[in-house]
Amino acid sequence: MYPPIEPHAQGMLEVGGGDRCYWEACGHPRGEPALVVHGGPGSGCTPRQRRLFDPRRYRAILFDQRNCGRSRPHAAEASTDLSANTTPNLVADIERLRIHLGIDRWLVHGGSWGSTLALAYAQSHPRRVSRLVLCGVTTTRRREIDWLFRGVGRFLPEQWQRFREAVPEAAGDEGVVAAYAARMEHPEAAVREAAADAWTRWEDAVIGHEVSGDPRAYTGRPQRDRLALVRICTRYFANAAWLQEGALLERAHQLRDIPGTLIHGRLDLSSPLETAWRLQRAWPRSQLHVVEDSGHTGSPSMNECLLAALDGPAAAPKPA
Residues that are catalytic: 112, 268, 296
Beta carbons of 131 and 108 less than 8 angstroms apart? yes
Q: Which of 117, 116, 61, 62 is nearest to 89 (CA)?
A: 117
Tell me how far apart the 2 most distant CA atoms of the chain are, in Å: 58
Beta carbons of 1 and 303 less than 8 angstroms apart? yes
d(CA 214, CA 205): 9
How many residues are there in the chain? Answer: 320
Beta carbons of 8 and 55 less than 8 angstroms apart? no
d(CA 178, CA 170): 7
Residues 6+ apart with CB under 8 A from 2: 50, 51, 52, 53, 54, 55
